[in-house]
């Protein structure tokens, strides 16, 4: 199934049915009277977060969704049938955004969360509603109301506690296979990971966390090189980032690789670049102990790094248990701080919203840049063909 994390859709709730103008006419009944029924209510549009979905592919081709209109009322005080609601199921972690203002309408982060997003039109009233002691034969009715209509941009950002950063072939997929039951593709060539992968890491029976592996980032990714930086938005909900650095020989300078990732991260979202981040040196089994310390110290000094540092080998599982235990402790302490102080929780949420907004703007500007580059290439090719 194709992974789709963005979609533009329009939704329209149903119109309300009109009220009926009718008078009772029965043989052998001396006195009649108004008996026009009300119309039916228009159908609503609901969104529900479905934990069994993991992509917005259902919205790739179908863009318009309309609920049923309410039926008109009829005589004999018969009320029209209500329009049928429609329920749109989206993956957990989907955000509804106003495409004109980039304002977040709703964030569906809880499994099973059900949200009314477009309300159906009200029912029209039949003339039986207007009868009174002074108005025995009312000819007054009302029309049904219009249903609400909106355009939305759907954005999917995966729900994970920990996100993996790094160049292609830094060992991120191997790492997530080693610590969880996730089975992402692993091969000896770049960009084996084409979509985000999630893995659940169980430290013990009652303690676990979720790790997100995204496609690797290369130089000029913010200008669309490689797979670009659009998958970085999936790290906006993560509370911790693991920057994985490949220290294997013959793959280039680890310091330059680390600086490349940090630069692209800051270009994509300055707020995301300030998120808690740990350095994880991978593939240390390919170096001698002397070279391990030398390479790691060189990178730490070159980055002026003062944060946590971990040395692992995803293939041999060396250092992985210590890293997972440290991650679990950090996540538990962060969660406890949020429970103890509401200001910490609000600050974290504000930071997530800021990252999401910056990501939205960066992705949009990157699309504009790539379209301009494509148009320029087309003009150049046409000019060359004329010559």
- Output the pLDDT for position 104: 86
- Output the pLDDT for position 46: 95
Nearest CA to 243 among 310, 315, 331, 325?
310
**pLDDT above 70 for 222:** no
- Among 167-176, 239-248, 330-339, name the one with the lowest average pLDDT: 167-176
SS3 state of residue 334: helix
What would the mean pLDDT of 232-256 be, rounded to a whole number?
85
131 close to 29: Cβ distance less than 8 angstroms: no
Q: What is the pLDDT of residues 247-281, one digit of tens each?
A: 887 677 888 888 988 988 888 889 988 999 999 99
- Output the pLDDT for position 88: 93
pLDDT top residue among 69 and 57:
69
Structure-token pair, residue 234 = 């999936």
Taken in order of first residue, the domains within the chain and their CATH numbers are 1-156 (2.70.210.12), 162-371 (3.40.50.300)
The CA distance from 267 to 273, in Å, is 9
Tokens 């960009």, residue located: 191
14 close to 69: Cβ distance less than 8 angstroms: yes
- Output the pLDDT for position 1: 46
Determine how β-strand 45-50 pairs with β-strand 114-118.
antiparallel
Structure-token pair, residue 382 = 């046409």
96 close to 150: Cβ distance less than 8 angstroms: no
The CA distance from 96 to 155, in Å, is 7
Query: With bands split at pLDDT 50, 70 and 90, how would you rate the model's confidence at 68?
Result: very high
**Whether this model's pTM surpasses 0.75:** yes
Q: What is the pLDDT of residues 88-121, one digit of tens each?
A: 999 988 989 888 888 888 888 888 999 999 999 9
- Which residues, in sequence order, are bridge partners of residue 88? 47
The alpha carbon torsion through 263, 266, 268, 272 (nearest 10 deg) reads: 140
């Amino acid at each position: 199934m194709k992974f789709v994390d963005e979609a533009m859709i329009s939704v329209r709730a149903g119109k309300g049915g009109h009220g009926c103008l009718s008078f009772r006419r029965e043989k052998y009944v001396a006195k009649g009277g108004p008996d026009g029924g009300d119309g039916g209510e228009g159908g609503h549009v609901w969104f529900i977060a479905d934990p069994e979905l993991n992509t917005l592919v259902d919205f790739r081709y179908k863009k318009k969704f309309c609920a049923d209109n309410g039926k008109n009322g009829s005589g004999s005080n018969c009320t029209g049938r209500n329009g049928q609601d429609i329920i749109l199921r989206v993956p957990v972690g989907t955000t509804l955004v106003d495409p004109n203002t980039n304002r977040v309408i709703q964030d569906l982060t809880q499994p099973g969360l059900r949200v009314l997003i477009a309300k159906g039109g009200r029912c029209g009233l039949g003339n039986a509603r207007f009868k009174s002691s002074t108005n025995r034969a009312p000819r007054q009715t009302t029309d049904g109301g219009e249903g609400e209509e909106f355009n939305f941009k759907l954005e999917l950002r995966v729900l994970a506690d920990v996100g993996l950063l790094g160049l292609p072939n830094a060992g991120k997929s191997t790492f997530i296979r080693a610590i969880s039951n996730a089975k992402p593709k692993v091969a000896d060539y770049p960009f084996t990971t084409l979509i985000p992968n999630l893995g659940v890491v169980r430290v013990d029976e009652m303690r676990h966390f979720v790790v997100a592996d995204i496609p690797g980032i290369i130089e000029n990714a913010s200008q669309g090189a490689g797979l670009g930086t659009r998958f970085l938005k999936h790290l906006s909900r993560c509370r911790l980032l693991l920057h994985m650095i490949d220290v294997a020989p013959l793959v280039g300078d680890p310091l330059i690789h680390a600086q490349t990732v940090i630069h692209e991260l800051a270009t994509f979202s300055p707020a995301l670049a300030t998120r808690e981040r740990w350095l994880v040196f991978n593939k240390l089994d390919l170096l001698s102990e002397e070279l391990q310390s030398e390479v790691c110290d060189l990178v730490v000094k070159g980055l002026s790094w003062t944060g946590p540092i971990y040395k692992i080998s995803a293939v041999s599982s060396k250092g992985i248990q210590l890293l997972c235990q440290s991650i679990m402790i950090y996540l538990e302490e962060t969660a406890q701080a949020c429970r103890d102080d509401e200001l910490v929780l609000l600050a974290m949420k504000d930071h997530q919203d800021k990252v999401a907004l910056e990501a939205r703007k960066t992705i949009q500007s990157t699309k504009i840049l790539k379209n301009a580059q494509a148009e320029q290439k087309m003009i150049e090719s046409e000019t060359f063909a004329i010559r």
